[in-house]
Amino acid sequence: MTVTISPVVLRKVATNEAIDAELRDAIEQQQLFDWVLHWQPALYERLKALAAARVSPDNWPQSAHWNWVAKLNEIKDLLAHQTLCVVCEGMTQGLMRVDTVGKRCRLDSQKGLNLVYIDYLEVAPWNWDGPYFDPPRYRGIGTILLRAAIEIRLAEGFKGRIGLHSLPQSTTFYERCGLANRGPDAAYQSRLPYFEMTPEQVQAFLNRGSGK
Amino acid sequence: MTTSKRTMTLNLTDAEMRVLEELCSKKDLSKTSLLRQALRLYQLVEARIEKGDKLFFEDEKTKEKAEVMML
């Protein structure tokens, strides 16, 4: 399999400079090595900091239990799923898995049409923002991955329609990106809020990113 | 981000073409997009069935289930 690499730019928080990065249209073995050998130890350090500060586990990062090795194994060789990642300065900074078959639009204006459903999107623990953590190393990863999901499906004729269930801690990010919060989904585990984007909202998001 | 693609010719009967066009209209997709989507779905179903899973349709009101036999 040939991986397509597209140049993207992240913001390095410490120096406020733009740093060249890569958007890759597959999560490969190296990303899983990075997850095991770098993300996991960094995660434990952050959880230790939260425990030391006596922060209730209810307020710990809600993706802390995600296992990307298992998530990749679930979809091995299936065309219905696609994975993407952002790599910067030799390290995986963000991971995403999408489903292009299993979910349909729910909004009345596009009910039943195909959409790209974002199964999982996560940035590396050192890019997390929070009161008990060091400042994030890079910003912009989530937006780049979201934009990539939209653009891939625009090219496939889906008109960029996307949907997802958000962890409660991530709802602000998706609202900032222009996705409308459709409220808690009673049919979904933990009643996570459901977000869906119409082609018009997709266009507004893309225009904003390109400065139009 | 562009992935390289290969081109093929597909021969369809009038009836098949009519169904394809109806589905494209209903799903708001191009013929290529719809067929690629169908391939993804077919592969997914096959993978689940090979694992031993069964495919059912469930009546939303009666909750009655009907198994789809995949040969």
> In this structure, are residues A136 and A176 in contact, taking their beta carbons and an 8 Å threshold?
no
How many H helices and E strands in chain A? 6, 9
- End-to-end CA distance of chain B: give it in Å, rounded: 38
- The Cα B48–Cα A74 span in angstroms is 11
**Domain that includes residue A166, residue range:** 5-209
pLDDT-above-70 percentage for chain B: 94
**B25 domain-assigned:** yes
**Nearest alpha carbon to residue A181 among A156, A169, A164:** A164
Give chain B's domain count. Answer: 1
Could you tell me which residues are beta bridge partners of residue B26?
Answer: none
A156 and B47: CB-CB below 8 Å? no
Q: Which residues of chain A have pLDDT under 50?
A: 211
- The Cα A57–Cα B45 span in angstroms is 38
Residue ranges in chain A assigned as alpha helix (H): 29-34, 40-52, 68-74, 141-155, 171-176, 199-210
B60 Cβ partners below 8 Å, 6+ apart? none
Q: What is the ipTM of this complex?
A: 0.79
**B54 domain-assigned:** yes
The pLDDT assigned to B44 comes to: 92
**pLDDT above 90: residue B54:** no
Q: What is the pLDDT confidence band of residue B57, given thresholds at 50, 70 and 90?
A: confident
Tell me the count of A-B CB pairs closer than 8 A. Answer: 49
Which residues in chain A are closer than 8 Å to B39, comparing Cβ atoms? 79
**CATH value at residue A137:** 3.40.630.30
Number of residues in chain A: 212
The pLDDT assigned to A152 comes to: 75
- Coil, helix or strand for A169? helix
> What angle do helix axes B14-27 and B31-50 make, rounded to 10 degrees?
90
The pLDDT assigned to A209 comes to: 66
**Phi, psi (deg, nearest 5) at residue A194:** -105, 135
Which residues in chain B are closer than 8 Å to A116, comparing Cβ atoms? none
**Domain that includes residue B38, residue range:** 14-67
The pLDDT assigned to A70 comes to: 97
Going by DSSP bridges, is the β-strand pair A116-123/A162-165 parallel, antiparallel, or unpaired?
parallel
Give chain A's domain count. Answer: 1
**B61 domain-assigned:** yes
**Nearest alpha carbon to residue A63 among A104, A22, A87, A97:** A97
The pLDDT assigned to B1 comes to: 63
The pLDDT assigned to A212 comes to: 52
Closest-CA residue in chain B for A25? Answer: B1
**B2 domain-assigned:** no
**pLDDT above 70: residue B21:** yes
> In this structure, are residues A122 and A94 in contact, taking their beta carbons and an 8 Å threshold?
yes
